[in-house]
Amino acid sequence: MPGFFMGWFDTFKRRVVDEPLPSGLHWVRIFYGQHAAGSGTTEVMLDNKPWETMQAVMAALPWPAKDGYYSTRLFLIIEDASPPCDP
Check residue 79 and give its pLDDT. 86
Check residue 37 and give its pLDDT. 67
At a CB cut-off of 8 Å and minimum separation 6, what does 23 contact? 80, 82
> Rounded distance, CA 23 to CA 21, Å?
6
Give the model confidence (pLDDT) of 25-83 as tens digits: 999 999 999 987 667 899 999 999 999 999 999 999 888 888 888 888 989 998 876 65
3-class state of residue 15 by DSSP: helix
Query: pTM for the full model?
Result: 0.78
The closest alpha carbon to 59, from 33, 36, 29, belongs to 33
Check residue 75 and give its pLDDT. 94
